[in-house]
Chains A and B, each alone.
Chain A
Amino acid sequence: MLQELQDKFYLNFIDDNRWAYLTNGLKTTLIVTLFAVLLGIAIGFLVAVVRSTCDKTGKLRILNALCKLYLTVIRGTPVVVQLLIIYFVIFGSVKIDKVFVAILAFGLNSGAYVAEIIRSGIMSIDNGQFEAGRSLGFNYVQTMTYIVLPQALKNVLPALGNEFIVLLKETSVAGYIIRSRTYDAFMPLIAVALIYLVMVLAFSKLLNLLERRLRNSER
């Protein structure tokens, strides 16, 4: 039994330097997650601002309609399908870096969820805050920047953190298009699970610290 485990360990990680796949995979996952998160925040932020500006002022109607379409499509289809469509259909005929495709797909996907999280944060801020800003003479953009968004982002920080953890785990499906090597399932999968668990726990801990810091600044 123990011997068997040892053999498997050897076969999966040591032999043929296979552990390198794991560390490379880890590196790829982190790169994909990091850039997808950044892309997701950028997209989500813009979409959320467009959506709530339209809700509040009735302006940007066309952009708002486009944003709604984007949200519906992205949130209504599985991320794996989106990934495969982008890789095999949109970029099917050109040679393109798989990591780039993964970043694009996960960024686009995450952006939709981030947008709705940030929008809910903006909506949760009492309209009196907005009016107080405007009454002092701030224009719409200034009121958003100095008064509404800082409070909104702080309120949705836990939800955003959660979204990033989801994203971090989801990027593992990028492995479908990136590689599959040994046919033994047990060892690599357990190892991968452990690695993700550690990363998620570490990230949650960081997030907790950040939240506490922010809350302290108000009391």
Chain B
Amino acid sequence: MNGKESLIRVEDLKKEFVGVHALNGVSVEIKRGEVVFVVGPSGSGKSTFLRCLNRLEDPTGGHIYFDGVDLMDGKININKHRQKMGMVFQHFNLFPHMTVLKNMTIAPMKLQGTGKEEAEQEAMKLLERVGLADRANAYPSQLSGGQKQRVAIVRALCMKPEVMLFDEPTSALDPEMVGEVLQVMGELAKENMTMVVVTHEMGFAREVAHRVLFMADGQILEEAPPQEFFGNPKNERLKAFLSKVI
């Protein structure tokens, strides 16, 4: 969490689904190397916020500056910028018709022109780091939930992203598999990866986050470093929320 350089700046972000205001003007700045957690009640707009960051969801208003470029600008090629924003989903979304290795190498090979050998070497290195080198030729259906999510994380890392977005990465896992995924995420955070994490794992947030955002009704009602966020919350909604989840 060294430099002060801003990587993502969100200004007055709005998203309306037919009749539902999911985001009501969210502004936030995320610095390079910063680990930001987003918590809040169900339906508060956390996923929508995260999915707007790489425009998987098209915002209806506001600006997202990523590395200085306004992603809301119609003239930019969003696919180029998405390559720099890794995303990890609640339900893994591995490609079931490809081996683990192919899952990891297809994007670098097709999008960044990386040679097969180099892409596979890179992928194997990452697999080793998350303890899955022996599963390289397995298909996703042959993996446990925790293994799938670890593969999903390293699949995103293969693109050498500048930020990793996580949407409840452990919510679909059996309890005994949560730890292995959190461990991988913790290591990433230590290596200064910029991370935005939506989660219900409050203990993990307290341990790893540099800053925690509380979201409710499509707005950020409080943001603070974890000690303060959990130890001395100010917003009434946040107090009520914390008393329920902790």
Contacts and interface: CB of A to CB of B under 8 A. Distances in A.
Interface in A129-151: 129, 131-139, 142, 146-147, 150-151
Chain B interface residue number, banded: 20 to 34
A150 B106 CA distance: 14
A219 B141 contact: yes
Contacts of B110: 138, 142, 146
Interface in B97-146: 97, 106-107, 110-111, 139, 141-142
B159 to A, nearest CB: 6
A121 B83 CA distance: 28
Contacts of B212: none
B121 to A, nearest CB: 19
B93 A219 contact: no
B142 A138 contact: no
Contact of B93 (A129, A137, A150, A218): A129
A71 B153 CA distance: 43
Nearest to B55: A134
Nearest to B84: A137
A138 B111 contact: yes
A136 B83 contact: yes
Contact of A218 (B56, B96, B155): B96
B75 interface: no
A214 to B, nearest CB: 9
A200 B36 CA distance: 61
Given A137-B83, A151-B96, A131 B142 contact: no
20 contacts: A126-B93, A128-B89, A128-B93, A129-B93, A129-B95, A134-B56, A135-B54, A135-B56, A135-B85, A135-B86, A135-B156, A136-B156, A137-B82, A137-B107, A137-B159, A138-B79, A146-B106, A147-B95, A218-B96, A219-B139
Interface of A: 126, 128-129, 131-139, 142, 146-147, 150-151, 154, 217-219
